[in-house]
Amino acid sequence: MNYNDKLKTERPRPSSVKNVIRDFNEEMESDRGRAINSAAVRRLQQKTQVFPLETNAAVRSRLTHSLEVQQTGRYIAKLIFKKLDANSLTTQLGLIDKRDGFISAVEIACLLHDVGNPPFGHFGEEAINFWARETLVQIFKDNFSDVVVLESEPSEPVDSKDSGEDKSNTQQNNKAKQKVVEKVVDIHLRDLLSFEGNAQAIRLLHSLQELNLTYTQVASLFKYTRPAYEDKPEDTSDFKYRKKKPGFYLSEESYVSELMSTLNIEAGCRFPLAYIMEAADDISYSIADLDDALDKGILDVEQLSQAIRNQWNAYKGQKGISDAVVEEGYLLKIEKEALTNYQSTVINKSHHYILKLRTSLVNDLANYAAERFVSNHQAIFDGTFDEPLLGGNDSYDLAAKTLKDVAVSKVFSDKEVERLELKGFSVIKGLLLIYTPLLKLSFVEFKSLATSNFLKTHPIETRLFRDLSRKHISTYLNSVEDVYKLEKQESDNLKKELYYRCRLIIDYVSGMTDRFALDEYRELSASI
């Protein structure tokens, strides 16, 4: 186990800095500058964490959440080095001259972890996937005959002895009752049906904004390791956790392959620093969502206190949760101290409650994550550790689970939050439907429009195309350049072009901020 095999300075393209040799720490400093100055990070300030279109600056946006995750990730990374130093392992592991770069890579991965999320949070993801299922499947079927196959699901067999029917009649009845279902087999379409913020982040940083980050920096972002066109693994799979969601798209497959080869990452495995980024995110948002709920008045301190206690005690007797852990009451002790702070304070009472809760939990959970990293170091280094650092079925794992479950039951289900989510769903789906006519053009028609910026026979589509981002159009044209050059188009080439045309629309809409998406929808749909 030697980190010289993992922490490398290679980039997809040579650095613009000529005739200067920089070590790993300096290259990570360069990545820091590229990331912090990127439009992807700036847009996070106007994207939803939990509450869309929030005017209260104290309530978290994606940017303020990411800054908190960044700090937590830095803390965990420093704790890991403290433990490695204590066991004289830093030099042995090849980390003696990579400390600053290691910590910086974790920090920037934490800062960038949400850049691929669409407007209106996870409900925005749902809107994109809903539109894709309802719209793109039919568009691909209209253009290609081999994108789906029909499968019959057998019905319950009828016993001819009981029914009094002869065997031939029984078979005919069963055949009539069979349900015919469609299965998408084309990888282009399967890929488009699985929008995921983590996969979009990889596409945004590499293909759309072309930040040319080191492979090390981008690998630190890979939370999941399967392509979007691949099926979710079975519960018995060794990759059950690492592949539970898509990690990258078909469009970035060759880039990901180069990354994994450069950093010696086996297929389906993670990069070790990604575990730290994930733990920092899990720690931060489990507390932050409840803090925002207090600020918004969705809950008061007494209600939150009771909800935490009820949720913790409800785990007793549940499968997979230790009764001894529940009875030990780790989180209840911290919550009681926080409540005492609240009751003994006169000014800004709820702040003192959440401050005690957050300080104690961040410190304990960060130390726990660091200990789990070191204790499982070989599996984490290899990327085969198939659970999060906050897993483990003990007090700390249950504390994080409790806060998340309280947020789901008491915050995300709040009427105001749900109405905002429905509003966001309508906006994202509506925008995608507005741009859908561009996907219904033939290859020849769209090629003419894309290359000349005008299509006389289609004035609406012409205006819709001109409304798209020039940056995104340029990415599309680069992706299909080889197809456009061909004199005769085969089916596979046409699928490729349509795939990237769909990506063009998805990239544009998913990259919007909440307010811009709402304004665009109002403008284009003539809504007041």
Catalytic residue among 60, 113, 188, 226: 113
> Is residue 85 annotated as a catalytic residue, yes or no?
no
Catalytic residue among 22, 42, 419, 463: 463
Catalytic residue among 34, 65, 270, 472: 65
- In this structure, how many other beta carbons lie within 10 angstroms of the beta carbon of residue 132? 20
Of the candidates 122, 111, 129, the one whose C-alpha atom is nearest the C-alpha of residue 42 is 111
Residue 498 token pair: 């349509």
Catalytic residue among 191, 281, 292, 397: 281
Q: What is the rounded radius of gyration, in angstroms, for the C-alpha atoms of the chain?
A: 26
**From residue 260, how far is each of 30, 239, 255, 276, 342 by CA, in Å?**
21, 17, 9, 18, 50
Evaluate the CA torsion angle 20, 22, 27, 30 in order and state its sign.
Answer: negative
State the distance between the two ends of the chain, measured CA to CA, in whole angstroms.
61
Of the candidates 20, 7, 2, 3, the one whose C-alpha atom is nearest the C-alpha of residue 262 is 7
Specify the 3-state DSSP secondary structure of 226.
Answer: strand
> Is residue 463 annotated as a catalytic residue, yes or no?
yes
> Is residue 292 annotated as a catalytic residue, yes or no?
no
Provide long-range contacts, Cβ within 8 A and 24+ apart, for 494-498.
Answer: 494/143, 494/144, 494/443, 495/140, 495/144, 495/147, 495/186, 495/188, 496/188, 497/443, 497/446, 497/447, 498/139, 498/140, 498/143, 498/188, 498/439, 498/443
Q: Rounded CA gap, 52 and 521, in Å?
A: 15
> Is residue 281 annotated as a catalytic residue, yes or no?
yes
Of the candidates 324, 114, 298, 271, the one whose C-alpha atom is nearest the C-alpha of residue 204 is 114
Catalytic residue among 31, 114, 186, 289: 114
> Is residue 114 annotated as a catalytic residue, yes or no?
yes
Residue numbers annotated as active site: 65, 113-114, 281, 463
